[in-house]
Amino acid sequence: MSKKRHEELKKVIAEHDYNYYVLDKPTITDYEYDQLFNELLKLEKSDKNLDLSDSPSQRVGGKVLDSFKKVPHRIPMLSLSNSYSPEDIFEFDERIKKFLNTDKEVEYFCELKFDGLSMEIIYENGQLVRALTRGDGAVGEDVTENIKTIKSIPLKLKSSPEILEVRGEVLIFKKDFAELNETQQENGQQTFANPRNAAAGSMRQLDSSIAAARPLKFFGYALGLVEGKTFDTQEHIQEYFASHNIPTALKTNPDLVRLCKGPDAVVAYYHHIEKIRSSLPFDIDGIVIKVNSLRLQDDLGLVARSPRWATAAKFKPEQATTTVESIQIQVGRTGALTPVAIMNPVKVGGVTVTNATLHNQDEINRKDIRVGDTVIIQRAGDVIPEVVSVVLEKRPKNSKPFVMPTECPVCDSPVQKLEGEVVTRCVNPLCIAMVKESLKHFVARRAMNIDKVGDRLSETLVDQKLLTRFSDFYRLTKESILSLDRQGEKSAENIINSIENSKHPTLARFIFALGIRFVGEQTAKLLADHFVNIENFLKATEEQLLEVPEIGPKVAKSIGAWTADLRLVNEVNEMLELGVKITNPVRATEGALSGMSFLITGTLPVKRDDAKDVIEKNGGKILSSVSSKLSYLVVGDDPGSKVDKAQSLGVKIISWEELQKML
Ligand code: IVH
């Protein structure tokens, strides 16, 4: 019975993931989704015989690798010849015709050249079994665990040949990139220069839970090895992908790919894409032109490491020159002060820009950007462009280096820059700039998901003094919203409903929504798992916080400071009184091993998964690496280097038999 329901849930959740992550058209609320997901987790916890290989529960990440395994590609991954000029398209077409010895027009399938990270995803009998980076083209790295966390990539295809190697690009959308960089910046972590770097950096993470927290997307555009199915054309491949829920440009918008007869049509496509380039939600750096017929592709073969049947026509980078009029300071949710260059308006890639983020003082120093400078700016995918460099020859004589203010520009309190951090902060928790940003974070989709209250409305509510703290959301009435300009009966009702619907967050979401510095989504989950309920979390000491896997002194200190602030704790209590009911779907079990953590190395007399089950059933926690937080390393035959590490850290080492005696 549970098997049947399990299969059903896997399928339903996969469909909802597709609606949400690919089509961007969810058909259920997050709450309903979470309920399905929790039911799935519960089933999987109670019945260990269920098939988890294609379960959405496997997408959360958590496996930590020592290194990526090198795996050869069964068919090498080639690169493309490329050019920067549409004229070269005619030459390409000439070469093709000459080689095929024909003067008939050749049919080309034209696509976007995604600016991401190329990837090969291998399905065997419909199951996603492996994913490899391009590497040097012959040998790639096994990043399966990271790829599985990308929700738009199906773990199982509805029907499939024995082997299907899907090639495509992993990327991050511009909007998500901006958000990611903002979070990284707020948390004092490294920011990325562009979406491609962010995507590549995410794929290189050995801890798949980091990749899981990154907004990665995928688009398929080519095949590697296929067994058990034949294709005739490039177009056919795209259609096949689309019909099997593998994300493609074709599926996103049929207008983005084009079947072109002859080079004139290709050039028209090139100009069309160049025009819409800046309005696309992701970065591209050109178009790819492929001979549509796979039979002709075969005839054409290779030149060196590139196919003769395809080429890329790249676009010029979206750069422009302008002058910096002033440098203004923005204050973020955690008080981070971000300098922004206000520039003479200039068109870059079809969009007029006036602002460029300068990140922080270190960045400004590095590039030596000053008010009055002439600068080269670039749209790095992000809506907010970046200053690439300063044209020093044009610097005005009297210019002075920029220095961050010593007072918050919004509330005038003194600012702080801690040693080892790049960020300057306002440390007044009542600074109105921080309040606004915190409230925007609180309502965000991945936090309390109050979807009818956007950034604009949050700001208005703060300006109208209807909102000064989290709990005020639950005091809002239809009448108070109707008192705002431009709010109708229906929309006020929707807003109230949306707030009402947010009253059942999981503990993890709730903790995340509080916006505690350094507590991202993943950390919030670990905290929820560890403390089980909000009361425990709020009274946790720094020592207790340090017991949580992966939480170090910096994060513990930040949480400690938050929970020590009575005003903030009181806020939580008021929300509870106003009807917020926090749930915690994954309850830590009580048992002989409760409070202890374990890691297994070497071969045990029982199957490793069974051993883990025994530990978890008795309340123990499984960790993924040796650290001083590990209570016990359970050692079997032929253990690896983990034993040395455990010894050096003074972690207790026990055998399977000793573990059983503890039960
Ligand atoms: S086809 C024979 N199609 O461009 C090459 N590649 O320089 C097969 N790329 O490493 C690739 N968009 O990462 C193809 N629509 C597209 C592409 C695309 C981006 C990248 C890919 C490859 C590089 C080739």
For residue 383, the domain's CATH number is: 2.40.50.140
Q: How far apart are CA 107 and CA 266, in angstroms?
A: 10
Q: Residue 462 above 80 pLDDT? A: yes
Atom of ligand 1 nearest to the CA of 116: 13
Distance CA 34, CA 24 (A): 17
pLDDT tens-place string over residues 172-184: 998 898 888 877 7
Ligand 1 atom nearest residue 80's Cα: 7
Question: What's the pLDDT band for 95 if we cut at 50, 70, 90?
Answer: very high
| pLDDT higher than 80, residue 252 | no
Q: Are residue 559 and residue 526 in the same domain, yes or no?
A: yes
Statement to judge: residues 191 and 289 lie in one domain: yes
For position 182, what pLDDT does the model report?
78
Q: Note whether 618 and 632 are within 8 A (CB).
A: no
Q: What's the 236 CA to ligand 1 centre distance in angstroms?
A: 17
Q: How many CB atoms lie within 10 A of CB 133?
A: 25
For the question of residue 42 being annotated catalytic, the response is: no
Ligand 1, residues 235, 238, 288: which to mutate, most atoms within 8 A of Cβ? 288
Nearest to 45 by CA among 532, 587, 529: 587
**Range in 1-10, 189-198, 629-638 the model is least confident about:** 189-198
Cα 252 from chain centroid (whole Å): 19
User: Encoding tokens for residue 453?
Assistant: 């209250």
Q: How far is the CA of 113 from the centre of ligand 1 (A)?
A: 7
Question: Given the CA of residue 113, which atom of ligand 1 is nearest to it?
Answer: 12
CA–CA dist 227, 246 (Å, integer): 18
Dist CA 477 CA 455 (whole Å)? 19
Residues 364, 457, single domain; the answer is: no
Q: Is residue 160 part of a domain?
A: yes
Residue among 221, 287, 302 whose CB has most ligand 1 atoms within 8 A, to mutate: 221
CB 421, CB 188: distance < 8 Å? yes
State whether 125 and 159 are in the same domain.
yes
What does the alpha-carbon distance between residue 153 and residue 378 come to, in Å, rounded to a whole number? Answer: 31
Alpha helices in 282-339 (DSSP H): 294-300
DSSP-assigned states of every residue in 22-79: ISS--SS-HHHHHHHHHHHHHHHHH-TTS--TT-GGGGG---B-SSPPEEE-SSPPP-
Give the pLDDT band (50/70/90) at residue 349. low
Q: Give the range of the structural domain holding residue 402, as residue numbers without chain letter.
A: 319-416
Question: Residue 60 C-alpha to ligand 1 middle, in angstroms?
Answer: 29
299 found inside a domain: yes
CA distance 659 to 111: 58
Q: Which of 48, 70, 104, 113 is catalytic?
A: 113
- Single out the residue of 266, 260, 221 nearest to residue 91, CA to CA: 266
Please, are residues 579 and 474 in contact by the beta-carbon 8 Å criterion?
Answer: yes
Ligand 1 centroid to Cα of residue 126, in Å, is: 24
Of 122-136, 233-247, 473-487, the poorest mean pLDDT is in: 473-487
Q: Are residues 303 and 348 in the same domain?
A: no
Distance from Cα 172 to the centre of ligand 1, integer Å: 16
Mean pLDDT of 360-382: 86
Instruction: Find all residues with CB under 8 Å of 467, minimum gap 6, and list them.
Output: 439, 458, 461, 473, 476
Q: Is residue 569 part of a domain?
A: yes
Q: Is residue 387 within 8 Å of residue 404, measured between CB atoms?
A: no
- What mean pLDDT comes out for the span 82-105? 92
Q: What is the pLDDT of residue 588?
A: 47
Give me the CATH number covering residue 52: 1.10.287.610
Strand 163-172: give its sheet, edge to edge. 127-133, 117-124, 163-172, 216-227
Least confident of 34-38, 62-66, 156-160, 649-653: 62-66
* Residue to mutate, 83, 118, 277, 285, ligand 1, most ligand atoms under 8 Å from C-beta: 118
pLDDT over 90, % of the chain: 57
Q: Give the pocket of ligand 1 (CB within 6 Å).
A: 78-80, 111-114, 118, 134, 169, 221-222, 288, 307, 310
The CATH number of residue 563's host domain is 1.10.150.20
Domain with 654 in it: what CATH number? 3.40.50.10190
The separation between the first and the last C-alpha atoms of the chain, rounded to the nearest angstrom, is 31
- Per the listing, tokens 């196919």 go with 307
Q: Whose CA is nearest to atom 22 of ligand 1?
A: 79
69 found inside a domain:
no
Instruction: Establish if 76 belongs to a structural domain.
Output: no
Query: Mean pLDDT in the chain?
Result: 89
On whether both 262 and 170 belong to a single domain, the answer is yes
Ligand 1 atom with least separation from CA of 310: 2
325 and 310 share one domain: no
Q: Which atom of ligand 1 is nearest to the CA of 249?
A: 15
Per-residue pLDDT tens over the stretch 580-623: 999 876 544 577 888 888 988 888 888 877 888 788 778 787 77
Residues 338 and 411 in one domain: yes
Same domain? For 158 and 268 the reply is yes
Q: Token pair 């979070």 is at which residue?
A: 183
Q: How do strand 597-601 and strand 310-314 relate by DSSP bridges?
A: unpaired
What mean pLDDT do residues 434-439 have?
A: 91
For residues 359 and 225, state if they share a domain: no
Q: What is the pLDDT of residues 514-561, one digit of tens each?
A: 999 889 877 888 899 899 999 999 999 999 999 987 788 888 999 999
256: Cβ–Cβ under 8 A, 6 or more apart, which residues?
Answer: 111, 112, 249, 250, 273, 280
pLDDT score recorded for residue 382: 46
pLDDT at 178: 84
DSSP codes, 380-442: -SSSS-EEEEE-GGG--TT-------SB-TTT-PBEE--TT---EEE--TT-HHHHHHHHHHH
Residue 591 falls inside a structural domain: no
Same domain? For 453 and 411 the reply is no
Give CA separation, 15 vs 3, 18, 51, 58, 237, in Å.
Answer: 18, 5, 18, 16, 22
**Is residue 74 one of the residues assigned to a domain?**
no
How many residues appear in the chain? 663
Distance between CA atoms of residues 390 and 89, nearest Å: 35
Question: Pick from 266, 294, 314: which residue ends a domain?
Answer: 314
- Give distance in angstroms: CA of 255 to centre of ligand 1: 19
> What are the respective helix, strand and coil percentages of the chain, to the nearest 5?
40, 20, 40
CA distances from 448 to 509, 521, 579 (A): 7, 12, 14
End of a domain among 501, 517, 545? Answer: 501
Q: What is the mean pLDDT of residues 52-77?
A: 86
Residues with Cβ < 8 Å from 552, sequence gap 6 or more? 546
Tally of structural domains, the chain: 6
Euclidean distance between CA atoms 567 and 562, whole angstroms: 9
**655 Cβ neighbours under 8 A, 6+ residues apart:** 634, 635, 636
CA of 307, closest atom in ligand 1: 2
Distance 358 CA to ligand 1 centre (A): 32
Residue 507: predicted pLDDT: 94
Co-location of 54 and 117 in the same domain: no
* Residue 111 falls inside a structural domain: yes
Beta strands in 277-404 (DSSP E): 284-291, 302-303, 306-307, 310-314, 319-331, 336-348, 351-357, 374-378, 386-390
Among 169, 269, 290, 300, residue to substitute to test ligand 1 (most atoms within 8 Å of Cβ): 169
Last residue of a domain, one of 314, 329, 357: 314
- For helices 87-100 and 263-276, what crossing angle results, to 10°? 150
Provide the pLDDT for residue 587. 44
Residue 14 has pLDDT above 60, yes or no: yes
